[in-house]
Structure 1
Amino acid sequence: MKVINLHQEENEVIALAVQNNRQAQQWIYSKYSPRMLSVCRQYIKDLQLAEDVMITAFMKVFVHLDRFEKRGSFEGWIRRTMINECISYIRVQKKVQFIEDSVDFEEMDSETEIQFSVEDIQNLIDSLPDGYKVVFNLFVIEGFKHKEIASMLGITEGTSKSQFAHARRILKSKISNLKNQEKNY
């Protein structure tokens, strides 16, 4: 059994992990699991379920580690696996449906600044219907384009834009309500 020096290059650790070296796999898991749990939590409200999905996704990471082509960042590759696993989980468990309709894309105004904690923001996003939440996270948090989101979710680009517009409208309304509550106190 080889001992892994903590300062080894990540590529060396990846190469060892491809060979099923458990210490290398543990190093990868330990390094990336906190951030990946946050990614899964963005899509799945229940922390324990998010952790289960993350563990399942890490198993897929290790099974398919030889497919990592070292063109982009390793963390980005793992993150994409996490997102795909979250989407799969949501589809299977919740049977999310995306309703196609056309909505004009409006810009969100930033007339008044209000500060929210990360928990407040996550709770606002969690309150969205699942379809809206998935598209919102993919667009705003992950930075995917609507065309990419449409391809990932098996929907049209227009549906992606519509889901995002609805999510934004709901969030804008909830933020307005919070602002009004804050003014009244």
Structure 2
Amino acid sequence: MERKLLLECQRNDRNAQRKVYEKMAGRLYAVCRRYLKNDEDIEEVLADTFYKIFTKIDQLQNPETFEAWARKIAVNECLQKLRTNKVMFISLEENFSHSSDGTAENISFEKDIMSLLSFLPEGCRAIFNLFAIEGYPHKEIATMLSISEGTSKSQLNFARKKLQELLVNQNI
């Protein structure tokens, strides 16, 4: 992100904020989509994310890290939404069903994987995203979600197994 544009955002320049929003909205929406299923929740979290970005942008020390900083805010807002919604982690013995709409054939592998993530319960999906995509260690995930480190590990294992099953069933 351009240093000048970020400085203008620090001065509450609405045009600069709009430009930053236009550049980042799609990327941050994709981050939120990995954690949340409901479009209304995603839109709410995205709005909260941009509010936090623009009200705390003066805390950004290095403009080169803006995108990572913004993504971290989005992840934290998603986790807060999951906590607010009191997402329960599933029992490892619990089974859940899924249905295929058959649209996976002509879309990219990444979209296939992202659509498969939507079949995971929100708690498992959050842990999978935090560990496999965002790179957080289990200890930090446990702290972020107020769960034990063992729960984080077992939910990640459960998510991986379910994703493997879904991949086999989708022939991806």
TM above 0.5? yes
Deviations 1:21-59 (A, max 9, x none): 111111211111111111111111233431221112101
Q: Name the counterpart of 2:73.
A: 81
Structural RMSD (CA) = 2.4
Give the CA deviation at 1:77. 0.2
Task: Letter of the 1:96 partner, please give it.
Answer: V
Q: Are 2:138 and 1:146 aligned?
A: yes
After TM superposition, the structure 1 stretch with the greater mean CA deviation from structure 2, 146-155 or 56-65, is 146-155
Runs of 4+ in 1 over 6 A off after TM superposition: none
Change in CA separation of 1:89 and 1:148 when aligned onto 2, cut-off 3 Å = same
Q: 2:87 aligns with which of 96, 110, 134?
A: 96
Q: 1:170 aligns with which of 156, 162, 168?
A: 162
Task: Letter of the 2:88 partner, please give it.
Answer: Q
Q: Give the 5 Å matches for 1:37-48.
A: 37-48=29-40
Which structure has more helix as a fraction of its residues? 2
1:73 is paired with a residue whose SS is: helix
Q: Name the counterpart of 1:10.
A: 2
Give the CA deviation at 1:87. 1.0
Q: Which has the higher contact order (CA 8 A, sep 6+)?
A: 2
**Alignment gaps of 5+ in structure 1:** 1-8, 102-114
Q: Name the counterpart of 2:44.
A: 52
Q: Which has the larger radius of gyration?
A: 1
Deviations 1:68-106 (A, max 9, x none): 12186100000000011111112212x1134698xxxxx
How many equivalent pairs are there? 159
Change in CA separation of 1:161 and 1:67 when aligned onto 2, cut-off 3 Å = same
Q: Following the alignment from structure 1 to structure 2, what is the Cα–Cα distance between the partners of residues 156 and 70? A: 33
**Alignment gaps of 5+ in structure 2:** 93-106
Identical columns (%): 40
